[in-house]
Amino acid sequence: MHTISETSTKKAWAKVIAQPATEFPATKLPILSGEIPDGLRGTLYRNGPASLERGGIRVGHWFDGDGAILAVHFTEAGATGVYRYVQTDGYKQEAAAGQLLYGNYGMTAPGAIWNQWFKPIKNVANTSVLALPDKLLALWEGGKPYALDLETLKTWGQDDLEGLKENLPYSAHPKRDPLNGNIFNFGISPGLNATLNIYKSDSTGKIKQKATVTLDGVPLVHDFVLAGQYLVFFVPPVRLNPLPLLVGLSNYSDSLEWQPSKGTQVLVFDRETLSLVSRGETEPWYQWHFANSYVDASGAVIVDIVRYEDFKTNQYLKEVATGETHTPAKSTLWQVHLDPAVGKVTAIKEILDRHCEFPIVPQVGQTSRHTYLSVHRQGADSSKEIFGAIARFDHHTETLATADLGENRYPTEPIYAPDPQNPDNGWIVTVIYDGNSDTSEVWVFESDRLDEPPVCRLGLPSVVPMGFHGTWKPA
């Protein structure tokens, strides 16, 4: 087995995932440059896979790593950071055993083939976070959320939000209405034909309403959109082939098949009743994430999507866990116009021909002039690198302002923190891994000056690997 240093073809980002990340307790963060803006008060929370091996054995996919949460609290006294693994049941059992015990998205359970049948998949709680008034939820696709303390990140345990008692899963991309605080989310229950479960919660996260609809086969649905009075799902043509999975010959990820002849299915729901308004179908594509969606003056639903032409992105993300990628999987920003009454796509076009991901807008469900994205540096080989810059796309001028962080520096998703004194602007907060010095930092940018140097850089006491999603909770 080669180490990172021995394998010259590996990029600088590979160092950060070579070893499990190290937790740190509440620590005052040093200011490396600039100063913390006066109005920046609240907490940045970030989630992601922080351990991709145990007992010398690597996991099978980037999605399989144990989740760890970074919290950076911004107060009058400065910034304090804390970083802790989510103490899931599976994490605690594997830590005690010193070895991997469970299967997951991209791996089967170690040992005899019957282990695949009798051992449940481990909830790794590694994908996103939802900050509620009294707790933080660590989210994952296939199970219940784990609740944590907002300040200390102590894990309290699984949370059913008073509505997941039937073992229903709670997905990683909830949508919060900025006007009334209601929260919408979903979960997929497997079966011969999967069930889409839709949830409506109050601002505390308590589930008040549920609905279900049967899907075609078992698709992979990662995200959805809130647009005015609608919830909209675009179901891509990826389907699970259950046979190799059931007999233990393959893992979940490798049993997913790209079936473009099925097209992309469109499901539109009423946000108040959660009833199905319409079904439709359009051309095939794959998406992990939506940037935004809203209803325009004509009543059409406008959806911005980070779109892939196929499902090769899954193979690329599998390779990330090895520290060396080679599969090209370009995604660009597209806009879809949808007639919600009949589920018909009336127009679709690419609006940004630049490889991008992790789109963020200041408020979902409403028109937004700007979309913030992770992008590659100019000239980077996207099949071998991960995202090395963040950018702001201006929908009015169709221009892109890019924050180039320098060679061998890798940002996480650009999180928008609003300025309470200036509703038109705020800050972009991101966590940077610097492969030159093997350190991690928190960088703060003015949201309207992303192509200028950060207004503040904070040092972190240990390396925090690139992860998936985060959120900002105002003070």
pLDDT tens, residue by residue, 347-357? 999 999 999 99
CA distance 445 to 453: 7
Domain count, the chain: 1
Chain-centroid distance of CA 395 in Å reads 23
* Alpha helix ranges (H) inside 19-98: 89-97
Is residue 1 over pLDDT 80?
A: no
> Does residue 76 lie in a domain region?
yes
What was the pLDDT predicted at 8?
55
pLDDT average, residue stretch 93-111 = 91
Q: Is residue 466 included in any domain, yes or no?
A: yes
Is residue 148 within 8 A of residue 156, CB to CB? The reply is: yes
Q: Give domain status of residue 311, yes or no.
A: yes
User: CA torsion angle for 89, 91, 94, 99 (degrees, to 10)?
Assistant: 160
How far, in Å, are 168, 264, 419 from residue 49 at the CA level?
Answer: 23, 29, 30
* Cβ pair 322, 255 in contact under 8 A: no
Question: Does 7 reside within a domain?
Answer: no
pLDDT at 234: 98
Tell me the two tokens of residue 235: 């179901």
Residue 1 located in a structural domain = no
Angle at 389 between CA 33 and CA 372, to 5 degrees: 100
- Confidence at 121, pLDDT banded by 50, 70, 90: confident
Q: What is the pTM of this model?
A: 0.95
Residue 426 CA to residue 359 CA, distance in Å, equals: 16
Q: What whole-number distance in Å separates Cα of residue 352 and Cα of residue 363?
A: 20
The sign of the CA dihedral 225, 230, 231, 236 is negative
What is the end-to-end Cα distance of the chain in Å, rounded?
47
CB atoms within 10 A of CB 31: 13
Let me know if residue 371 belongs to a domain: yes
On average, the pLDDT of the chain sits at: 94
Does residue 120 carry a pLDDT above 60?
A: yes
Residue 206 sits in a domain whose CATH number is: 2.120.10
Question: Can you give the residue range of the structural domain that contains 136?
Answer: 14-474
Is the pLDDT score of 345 beyond 80?
Answer: yes
Reported residue count of the chain is 475
> Mean pLDDT across the stretch 78-90?
98
Six token digits for residue 416: 């928008």
Q: How far is CA 359 from the centre of its chain?
A: 10
What is the rounded average pLDDT of the residues 246-260?
Answer: 89
Using CA atoms, how far apart are residues 277 and 341, in angstroms rounded to an integer? Answer: 7
Q: Where are the beta strands (DSSP E) in 271-364?
A: 276-282, 286-295, 301-308, 331-339, 344-352, 356-360
Does 233 fall in a domain? Answer: yes
Res. 244 pLDDT band, cuts 50 70 90 = confident
In a domain, 6, yes or no: no
Q: Which residue has the higher pLDDT, 4 or 61?
A: 61
**Category of 117 on φ-ψ map: left (φ > 0), alpha (ψ -120 to 50) or beta:** alpha
